[in-house]
Every structure is written in structure tokens, then in C-alpha cells.
Structure 1
Amino acid sequence: MRPLAGIPQASHARRRRQLMRMAGEDAILVLPAAPERVRSRDTHYPYRQDSDFLYLTGFTEPGAVLVLVPGRSHGENLLFCRERDPVREAWDGPRVGPEGAVDALGMDDAYPIDDLDEILPGLLEGRTRVYYHFGRDTDFDLKLIGWLNRVREQMRMGAQPPHEFLELGHLLDEMRLFKAREELVVMRRAAAISMRAHAAAMRAVQPEMYEFELQAALEYTFRRHGAEPAYESIVGAGANACVLHYRDNRARIDAGDLVLIDAGAEYLGYAADITRTFPASGRFSREQRALHDLVCMAQRAALEQARPGLPFENIHEASVRTLAEGLLRLGLLKGSLRKVLAEESYRRFCPHKTGHWLGLDVHDVGEYRVDGQSRLIEPGMVMTIEPGLYVPPDAPGVDAKWRGIGIRIEDDVAITRDGHEVLTEGLPRSADEVEEFMAARP
């Protein structure tokens, strides 16, 4: 059987208890597993469990529903899942089944998924509030509304249906934003595998290769170490690096090209997210190095702001100020720094934010602003820091020597009590480090 998760069962149980305390004893929380998705006709996309479901259970099978009923005397943690079926298991692999789910997942009770229609209305009855992700799974939304209506139909007989419906994410997102020690262990492993993969691509690159060959080197390394791509790997050579979410990965790599790789491994559910930009020939041109050095400077300035007690937006502001100063110095922008920042004319070359939360999702859950203000950074948060500069090949009014250069440098950063830990430290980053690494290739 596939491992249930990289997090101990006790941690999932602790998360469920914390969530129920936050919801209150008159609430009920309903969370379905991710549905399977058809790729074409009878072929499905690889199954990936809903991140919230994984966070609370560690269960990786489809066709399941978690129901939490705080204070229920007959058990608070209930799982509905597929029954064991030797015929289907011969085709699709083993199942835990309701009989095995209690021990495997630490549930109070487990039932066949086919019994959900009969049992759930009774669990809803007498509860004041329902926490649920409305709008995420339309088919399940309709089922839940049907179960609620069945309880309402019994009001004349004394039934008490829930009268308040709340977004489950309001509770879960804040929980998931702060990573526990055991989560950081898994995230360090995801980062280590991702660094190996990037290094493999940097060793493999040669002019006249194709982008997909480097993608193969990356993803082979992921798979070899028990991981898989956390998202579609971006391998953009030359001007393709200026396309922020480039996906084609089919162009030839020419001798003078920079190659931008944005790729990360998912290990036991947790994602890494790294970007490096390096020269296919092993040596930066003068213009490439100038912009690469500037992006490195911006990342260093941003990292100085990655510590507890500072606003999250300070990271982006420090990066943008550094990039704007450099673009003015190099002549790609004109005017004063004050005007460039006020008018945001720098966005012509650096259009995206400098980072995002990281965890079970690559762009992980959690608010960036609280009560209209940038939230303060706290220990346990994990984020990316990823400044970038992109000069499109057809950029008007720009000297031709700068055109078609795209550079992003991205690392994964965990906030500690007194600063931060760069989870992806050790992978060549600066131009000197990159050239030295590539010069040492066999």
C-alpha cells in the first residue's frame, strides 16, 4: 500500500482536535476528498489528494469524506471511505477500507462511503454551524444541500437543522500557514531533492539541446528520490525566460542563451519551489551578468526583511527598490528613484510579487493582509523569495543588448524565532557560483 503520509498519525489527530476547538462544540465540519479527474475518455489524471484533507488525515485515496463532530459522545472523528473490493483492487491497487481506517488513521469510526447519504443528515441534525468549502466541488455542494433540506423537512417533528454556514478555509488556512517541526523536516527533504534536480540540469545543459531534455533531467531526479513535480516544470531558454509561466519546453537552446528553470519537487505532499537562471555555454555575457547580479542583490535585500515582527510586504518593497535603483543605473529606466517607485514604471521589467507562502500547495494558503494591513512575519511561516527581471525581445526604447534576457532567482525560506532559514541554501546562486559550478562539470 502507498504510504499514507510523511507526517505521524498523532500530528493529524492533533490538527483535528485543534480545528474542532476553534469551530466549537455546536459545529460540524465536512470535508470531501479530491475527486478523480478524467484526462481523456477513460484515462484519469494522476490522483492528488485535496491538501486540506491530506493535512487532517494523511489519507491519499479518493472517494472519501471526513466529518468532524465536536463533542459527539459516540466519536468526533468520522471517515467515510471506499470498501475493500478484491476485484477493483486487482485493477487499481489496495484500499484501506473502513475496517482498516480506524487504526491506520486514528479515526473514532469509519463507514462505507455508500452509507454517507443515510448517516450524514443525522449528524447535521442538532448542529448550529456547518463548516465546509462551498464552491470547491459543485457535485458535493448539491449533495450537502440535499442532506440539509432533509433535516429541514423534519423540523415539524422537532429536528433542529444548522442555520449558519461558514467557510472552512477561515479556520484551516491559518492553521496551515504555520508549519510544525515535522512539516519542516519533510519540506527540507523536498528542498534537498529539488536542489539535486536543478544541479543535474545545470550539469546536463549544452548548446543545441532542447528544453525538454533538461526537463527530463529534472524530473528523473525527482522520481529517483521518491518525489514528483510539485507543478509544471518551467524550462525557458533565451527569450522564453521572459514568459513568466512558460510551459511549452520544446525550443532549442542556443549557445548564447540563458536558461531559466523554475521547478520544484513534491515530497510526501509538501512542495519546494526553486528558480535558477544560468548560461547554456557556462559563461554569462556582460549584460546577462549585470542583470543577474542585480537580481541577486534584490534577493539579498529581500532576505534581510525576512524575520519575525516585520511586515510581509517589506520583502517585496526591499526587492523592488533594489531592482529600480539598478535599472536606473544601467539605463533601462529613466528619471528619479522616487518617481519610478511612485509610478511603478519598474513593473515593465519586474511585473510580479517577490514571494508567496509555501507548503502543501506551491502557492499555499494564508492571508497576506490582515485588517487591510500587511501581516507581520511570524516563526513557522514558510515562503519563497523570488525577484526577477524580464526584458522582452520586442521591448520598445530598450537597447538591443538587453532584449530577450529573463532572470529569476527563487529560494524557499522558513521563518525562525530570530531570523530565517533558507531551505534551499547550497544550490549555486550568484553568477560566480554558477560559472564555477558549470566549469567543474565532467
Structure 2
Amino acid sequence: MFSPDTYRQRRKKLMQQVATGLLLIYGNGESPRNFRANPYAFRQDSNVLYFSGIVRPDVALLLDPAAGKSWLCGEEYGVEDAIWSGRQTSLAEWAEAGGLDGVLSLSELRGHLAKARGEVHYLPPYRCEHVARLSDWLGKSRAEIEAAPSEPFIRAVVGQRSYKSGEEIEQIKAAVSASMFMHDSVKERCQPMVSSEEQLVALAESLARNLAAGLAYPIILTTNGQILHNHHYSFEPLPFEGLLLCDMGAETAMGYAGDITRTIPVAGHFTDREKDIFDLVKEAKEEAVKACKPGVPYREVHLLASTVIAEGLKELKLMKGDPEEAVAAGAHALFFPHGLGHMMGLDVHDMESLGEDYVGYDEQVQRSEQFGLAYLRLGRALEPGFVITVEPGIYFIPELISQWKAEKKHGNFINYSEVEKYLDFGGIRIEDDYLITGQGAVNVLNA
């Protein structure tokens, strides 16, 4: 945990920005795998972590801006819990560590909420038990709960969590350092006809638990790099040739994430065709990083990377026509169908539970509805203190290529006869994590 004063100052600022009613931040409970006593690994809600550092299940934070006070709400563990799990940290001890003013039982919390006469601010619930708990506490239907999270509360939280402090940067750096060690170890152990995807994933997961607190998200490790979120791992030995795409990141004990992607040749060296595509993705990433400066909308950086990709694919005879016009029309999205990057912090996609449009967009930059560009999670102007990912890629997705060709989509920009020669290629993505400073983007490891 950070110092109690860190959490006090965060809550004080929050209560200054949302100064009426009560603010309720509910934590996560343990989630059973197949019965109650057999839970998945516990992960606390990131907003509870940010405003208190408390990792205990089944608690909530209640903030009263008028009184300038905040409480930890929950029920104490009993003797039976001690029998099975040993002595547990008391709520009072947790409250002291998080700089809170005291402890309320859940029945006392109900009383405070009832006195608020409906003016209770809460954030968007992302688990069904969140909805059920809020419905019970506030006396509203589940539909009413899901329809009425507090927009001022959301914006105030986003306004704080978007800007990373020095101590947060150190946590993220630790997560990224562990993530890089995972990648280096996988690359070292990658051997055709010896290693399998499943073995390499098991190695990375073990390293994440030993170097940090575990994984920030499920590992993507696959010879089918054209599948963007592939969590199915083969037990078969890796082939003699082809590419292995590895997207994985560690999470620290305090909940901060790393997010790194590498694409490596299984045999240890690229073919000429693979190197052409790899070098193009690398160039797009390097140009994007150079363009990441305060005040520059990240959507412009995404479009710059897209144009670099379109220019390179034209040189390879896979695209044709004017690259800038191709990008404006969205033709490049056949090969680059996702966004360039996203915020990162206590969540690998930071604050995504609050709503991507609140986090990544504003009045100046609105989300596009164009295929590919619509998946860009971060479009707004960059600011010092942001931590972001930069992760361009080029993919050859047979299903998408077949559909677009049948529809004759963007035929003035795409050479389908040449593209079809790459149907067995897979995909390449390169990703690193950057801190935006007053001068530009700095790799988190060098921050």
C-alpha cells in the first residue's frame, strides 16, 4: 500500500469534485469457481484500490463530502474464519492503513444510505453481484441500478486516475519489468518440435506469480496471430516455421499492470516475407512513438501509424492507390483492424469499467463508427502523466479477407490476388508501454 496520506488526498480531491450526496465505492467479493468454498483468485475492484489500497473482499467505501469523512464498510470475520484461514486483518486495521476515518457495519451503511434520500453516487457495476448489492442497499430495481450510475462521479474518478503519480509509475515499471522477463524467458525456451504453446504459457504464468502477483490478463500466446484474442493453447510441439505472437503482462501486488507484445519466429529467424511485415510494423510503432506528445490527439497518432502501414503494404503490392485516401476510407483496417493503444494503470485497459468513452474521448474527439477506427480505446489529446500502450499490428485474417473480397470492398485500394498469397501468414503485433511527459513519450522502463 501507499501511505495513508496518499489515499486521504485522493479522497479529499474526489469529495471536492462531487460535493453533494454520498459517494459509494463497492469492492469485489470472492467469485466461486464451482462452489462457494472453491473461489477464483481474488482481485479487488480497482477504484477501491485507488482510493484506499484495501484488498479485503466484501467491503465498500462510503464518502460524505459534506462531513469531509470516509468510512470502510463491511463485516468482521469470526472465529470460524480464523479456524480455516488464520487470523485476518481487522476492518479497523485496514481503515487505519488506508487513512479512513472509521468503520461501519453493513447495517450502519444502510442507515447512511437511507438518510441520503436517494442522492447516492455510484460507479457503473460490472459484476452481477454489484447490481444485486446496490439494488438491495438502495431499494431500486436492477434495471434502475444499471441505468443510473453517476456521471459526475465517473468523470471525477477518470480525472484523477488518468494522471499517474511518481509512486504509481514505479509500480507500473515493476509490472513491465516482470512482463519483459516473462517474454525473454519464453523466447529463450521457444524451440520448434520441442516446446508447445501450453508449456510456454505455463512458464510465463509461473514467472508472473514469482516476479509479481500474477497476470494482469489472460495470456495470448499463439501461432495463429491473426486471431486477436486467442486464449486457446495447443499441446502440440511448435512447427519448424511460422510466427509465435505473445501478448502478456504481469500485475503487481498493488494491482498495477504491464502489457507487452512480441512476435518471434519459431525457428529463430524470419523468412524474407515475415521480415518485410515485421519491419513495417516496427516502423509504424517507431513513428507513432515519435508523434506522441502533449496536446496531440491519440487518434491522429493512430491514423499516422495506419498511413505508415498502408504505404508499406503498397510497396509490397498488397495495397494500391493513395495511402492517405485508403486510410481515410478505412481500407487499411483489413490488415490493422484494432486501435493503436489504450490507457494503462490499475487496469490493463485502465478504467474500462467506467466506460471507454469517458476515459478515451471527450468533447473535442468523438469515437468514430468506421470499422477498425471504432475499436480505438483512446482518441483524446495526450497529456503529461498518461501511461499508454502503443501496439500496431498487421494481420491476415482469412475470414475477413474472404468477406471483403466477395463484397468487392475497397477494391480500388486492395490487391486481393496478392493478399490471398498471405492467407497462411498469421499476424504480427509489437507493443510497449509509455509515459507521456512534457517532451513526449518515454518507455516506462526508462521513466
- In the superposition, the TM-score normalised over structure 1's length comes to 0.85
One-letter identity of the residue aligned with 1:41 = F
State the partner residue of 1:29: 23
Match of 2:376 in 1: none
> Residue 243 of structure 1 aligns with which residue?
227
Corresponding residue SS for 1:271? coil
Which of 274, 277, 289 is the equivalent residue of 1:291? 277
| Map 1:148-159 → 2, pairs under 5 A | none
SS at match of 2:311: helix
User: Whole-Å Cα distance in 1 between the matches of residues 286 and 310 of structure 2?
Assistant: 15
**CA displacement at 1:387 relative to structure 2:** 0.1
Unaligned runs of 5+ in 2: 142-147, 352-357, 366-378, 403-416
CA contact (8 A) 1:82 1:95 kept: no
Query: Does the Cα contact within 8 Å between 1:121 and 1:147 map onto a contact in 2?
Result: no
Deviation sequence 1:155-181 (CA, Å, 0-9, x none): xxxxxxxxx972432211221111111
Structure 2 match to 1:140: 133
Moved more, 327-336 or 191-200: 327-336
Shift of 1:32: 1.3
Q: 2:32 aligns with which of 20, 38, 57?
A: 38
Matches within 5 A, 1:6-85: 7-24=2-19, 26-42=20-36, 43-72=38-67, 76-85=69-78
| AA at the equivalent of 2:21 | A
Q: Give CA deviations for 1:61-103 in whole Å, capped at 9, x if unaligned.
A: 111111001232xx71111123142321332354222332332
Any idea what the Cα deviations from partners look like across 1:412-437, whole Å, max 9, x if unmatched? 011012112112579xxxxxxxxxxx
* Equivalent position to 2:106, from 113, 116, 120: 116
Match of 2:291, SS? coil
CA RMSD of aligned residues (A): 2.2
Query: Could you tell which deviates more after superposition, 188-197 or 416-425?
Result: 416-425
The match for 1:198 is 183
Measure how far apart 1:399 and its partner are. Answer: 4.7
CA apart distance, 1:372: 4.4
* Counterpart residue number, 1:368: 360
Aligned to 2:196: 210
Find the aligned partners of 1:165 and 1:306 in 2 and give their Cα distance.
33
1:269-321 CA-to-partner distances (Å, cap 9, x unmatched) read: 00110000011111100000000000000001110111112112122011100
Q: Which residue of the partner structure matches residue 250 of structure 2?
A: 265
- Structure 1 stretches of 4+ moved >6 Å: none
8 Å CA contact 1:33–1:50 kept in 2: the answer is: yes
Distance 1:108 1:127 in 2: 23
User: Which segments of 5 or more consecutive residues in structure 1 lack a partner in the other structure?
Assistant: 149-163, 427-442
CA shift, 1:186, in A, is: 0.4
* Residue 96 of structure 1, aligned match among 89, 102, 107: 89
One of 67, 71, 86 as aligned partner of 2:79: 86
Matches of 1:123 and 1:142, distance apart in 2 = 12
Q: Measure the CA separation in 2 of the matches of 1:68 and 1:246.
A: 41
Higher relative strand content: 1
From 181, 186, 192, the counterpart of 2:166: 181
Residue of structure 2 equivalent to 1:336? 322
Rg comparison, structure with higher value = 1
SS at match of 2:33: strand
* Cα contact 2:3–2:97 (8 A) shared by 1: no
Cα deviation, residue 223, structure 1: 1.6
Contact residue 303 and residue 327 of structure 2 kept, 8 A: no
* Mapping 1:224-235, distance limit 5 Å: 224-235=210-221
Match of 1:384 among 389, 398, 402: 389
State the SS of the aligned residue for 1:304: helix
- Which 10-residue stretch deviates more, 356-365 or 133-142? 133-142
Report the equivalent of 2:431.
410
Number of equivalent positions: 398
Matched residues, percent identical? 31
Judge conservation of contact 1:39–1:45 (CA < 8 Å) in 2: yes
What is the TM-score when the length of structure 2 is the normalising length? 0.84
Aligned-residue offset at 1:202: 0.5
Could you tell me which residue of structure 2 aligns to residue 155 of structure 1?
none
How far apart in 1 are the matches of 2:139 and 2:53? 28
Matched, 1:303 2:324: no
Which secondary structure does the structure 2 equivalent of 1:231 belong to? coil
State the partner residue of 2:300. Answer: 314
Which residue identity lines up with residue 304 of structure 1 in the other structure? K
Displacement after TM superposition at 1:196 (Å): 0.7
